[in-house]
Amino acid sequence: MKRLLLILILMFSFQSLTKADDIRDFEIEGMSIGDSLLDHMSEVEINNSILKSKYKDSSFVRVESYDNLKSYDAIQLHFKNDDSNYIIHMLSGAKYFIDDINNCYKEKKIAENDLKDLFKKLSFEDWGTTAHPADKTGKTMVSTTMFTFMDSGGGAIQCYDWSKEMKYNDHLKIKLMTDEYVNWIQNIAFK
């Protein structure tokens, strides 16, 4: 039953996107890359949702929310630290698989196949499974499939298998990102 529910959630999340050619046309919980977060939350709500960062560089601010979500258990987004308009550069939705990483992997594969069927213009690349840079023990593993848009930006479908020491829930994440955010997270954030 959980699998059917997740498949339906993912299908409905992507269904309105079948004619999308640009990253800004994709939505997660009604938000898109390039939107001002102020169109979705008050400044007080934004400030109350900012997470303390484990990044070594503070160019981007991370916000997380669990409130009033329809398709996901949590959303996370990033905007630039010096941006008074709070323009979204990374947007993701997470579905929890608590102590059930094998089902996360199954649902990740289903989501990948659904995206490949729906969006013929996206380019996909399997990055395999790697250690998460925030876990210094090297025990947290992330399985990632990246997809890119023809013009700019990209996304990922990921399963996070968190170590017990990190105290996070294993989860499936669908993520949309600007090129600027991708460069920051890959080359600057943890260095």
pLDDT digit string (tens) for 39-48?
999 999 999 9
Does 167 or 161 have the greater pLDDT score? Answer: 161
3-state SS of 50-110?
ECCCCCCCCCEEEEEECCCCCCCCEEEEEEECCCCCCEEEEEEEEEECCCCHHHHHHHHHH
Of the listed ranges 7-21, 107-121, 137-151, the least confidently predicted one is 7-21
pLDDT at 31 over 90: yes
- Residues 80-84 have a mean pLDDT of 94
**What tokens appear for 80 in the block?**
């630039």
The kind and range of the H/E element at 113 are helix 101-118
> Regarding predicted confidence, which is higher, 27 or 93?
93
CA distance 176 to 156: 7
Residue with tokens 């989860």: 171
Percent of the chain with pLDDT over 90: 57
Q: Where are the domains of the chain?
A: 2-187
> What 3-state class would DSSP assign to 20?
coil
Q: What is the pLDDT of residues 93-138, one digit of tens each?
A: 999 999 899 999 999 999 888 877 767 778 889 999 999 988 889 9
Percent of the chain with pLDDT over 70: 85
Which residue carries 């990055």 as its tokens? Answer: 127
Give the pLDDT confidence score for residue 25 in this predicted structure.
66
Buried b (16+ CB within 10 A) or exposed e, 91-103: bbbbbbbeeebee
DSSP 172: E
